[in-house]
Amino acid sequence: MTSIRVIPCLDIQDGRVVKGIQFRGLRDAGDPVELARFYDAEGADELVFLDITASSDSRAPVIDLAERVAEQVFIPFTVGGGIRDLATIRDVLKAGADKVSLNSAAIANPEFVRQAAEAFGSQCIVGAIDARRSSTGWSVFSHGGRHDTAMDAVDWAKELQAQGAGEILLTSMDADGAQTGYDLELTQKVSNAVSIPVIASGGAGNPAHLIEAVQVGRADAVLVASIVHDGNYRIRDLKKAIVDAGLEIRTLPNS
């Protein structure tokens, strides 16, 4: 059985953590380094930092943020947003990140994923997919959810795996921030289509949603944001619920 990871996601804009609903109505959620330190102490398995306007602004990711986070936390973390070349990946990893998340640049040039995987190892490369339900399935969006590529999300997940991505970060734009549960159908279809780990993202509102993402959606990890940023649940509460459901977790919840 896969050991489930619980991963807080910190969306970054102008150096602050923000959160919205369906990628809109962003509100301030705190300082990224302080939150990273807090979630590390709380027992998070990993962290994800996404600079949500870097690609749309044609701006490089915030390297100094990775450096400051690396000084404060001892768990693996991923940085995404605005990563368009191998030199930037190298800089982000040198700054202390363990993985990079590729989205818009991978869509523009799928070969970039293969080049990155060959240069740094598949374990460092996360293929991020922002998907919105369409009349035929789910459409992939780029540039922080601003551009509809008309690509099918399930097909794109398979292509990311073929190009060498080590895992998929799958975000339902429809469920994002709504706290009504993950898109289980989307998560299941992508999980069934690939053999690499899938991180379910978008929609967590209570511990039952995380359990459903694993048991029904077949996710290997669950991303959480609003429910922990707002203090509705602590990481240990979420992990205890997962264990009580008979699932294995990466690390035991802190007491």
Using one digit for the tens of pLDDT, what is the confidence trace for 202-231? 999 999 999 999 999 999 999 999 899 888
Decide: 188 and 216 in contact? Cβ < 8 Å. yes
The 10s digit of each residue's pLDDT in 85-129 is 999 999 999 999 999 999 999 999 999 999 999 999 999 999 999
Catalytic residue positions? 11, 130
Tell me, what amino acid is at 189?
A: K
In this predicted structure, the answer to whether residue 1 has a pLDDT above a threshold of 90 is: no
**Model pLDDT, residue 230:** 84
Residue 57 has which token pair?
């602004």
Q: For the residues 159-167, what does the mean pLDDT come to?
A: 98
Cite the DSSP H helix spans in the chain. 32-42, 63-72, 86-94, 104-108, 111-120, 153-163, 184-193, 207-215, 226-229, 235-244
> What's the rounded Cα separation, in Å, for the pair 248 and 244?
9
Q: How confident is the model at residue 23, as a pLDDT?
A: 47
> How much is the pTM?
0.92
What digits encode the pLDDT tens for the residues 31-89? 889 989 999 999 999 999 988 665 545 555 678 888 999 999 999 999 998 899 999 99
Please, what's the largest Cα pairwise distance for the chain? 46
CB 55 within 8 A of CB 17: no
Average pLDDT, the chain: 90
| Burial of 87 per CB tally in 10 Å (0-12, 13-18, 19+) | exposed
